[in-house]
């Protein structure tokens, strides 16, 4: 794999690292989940996705300026207490691939869902 080919993977791993750092800051769940949404929205390596919200404990965590314009997809995990956590995202219209998610992005989504699960299991 060339350096150019590995760069997107490195960006996604860097974002997962940043999210892990946010989780370790001993903030409230509400604040932590909003910081994660902000981190996802600001990352240039996620041009394929437009992250919109995390749903947990009956609350939606989302940016106020986000609009749900594109086809929504979600990934969910169940916490140890049995609560479901949903991570909803929208496909970027410019990079539509008929619902198929590239392998690197799918791996990122699964990893992110697992990070959220571990965090929420630990609170």
DSSP secondary structure letters along 1-51: --HHHHHHHHHHHHHHHHHHHHHTT---HHHHHHHHHHHHHH-GGGTTEEE
Report whether 120 contacts 85 (CB < 8 A): yes
Band (pLDDT 50/70/90 cuts) for residue 18 is: very high
What pLDDT shows up at residue 115? 95
pTM for this predicted structure: 0.84
Q: Name the residue ranges covered by the structural domains of the chain.
A: 3-121
Segment 83-102 mean pLDDT: 71
Segment 79-98 mean pLDDT: 78
* Burial zone of 89 (CB within 10 Å; 0-12 exposed, 13-18 middle, 19+ buried): buried
Segment 10-35 mean pLDDT: 93
Q: State the Cα–Cα distance between residues 24 and 34, nearest whole angstrom.
A: 14
Looking at the structure, give the CATH architecture of the domain made up of residues 3-121.
Answer: 2-Layer Sandwich (3.30)
């Amino acid at each position: 794999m060339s350096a150019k080919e590995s760069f997107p993977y490195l960006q996604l791993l860097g974002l997962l690292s940043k999210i892990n750092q946010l989780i370790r800051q001993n903030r409230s769940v509400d604040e932590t989940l909003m910081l994660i949404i902000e981190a996802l929205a600001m990352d240039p390596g996620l041009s394929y996705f437009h992250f919109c919200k995390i749903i947990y404990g009956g609350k939606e965590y989302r940016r106020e300026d986000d609009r749900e314009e594109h086809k929504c997809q979600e990934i969910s995990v169940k916490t140890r207490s049995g609560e479901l956590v949903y991570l909803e995202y929208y496909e970027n219209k410019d990079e539509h691939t008929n619902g198929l998610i590239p392998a690197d992005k799918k791996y990122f989504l699964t990893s992110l869902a697992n990070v959220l699960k571990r965090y929420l299991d630990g609170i």
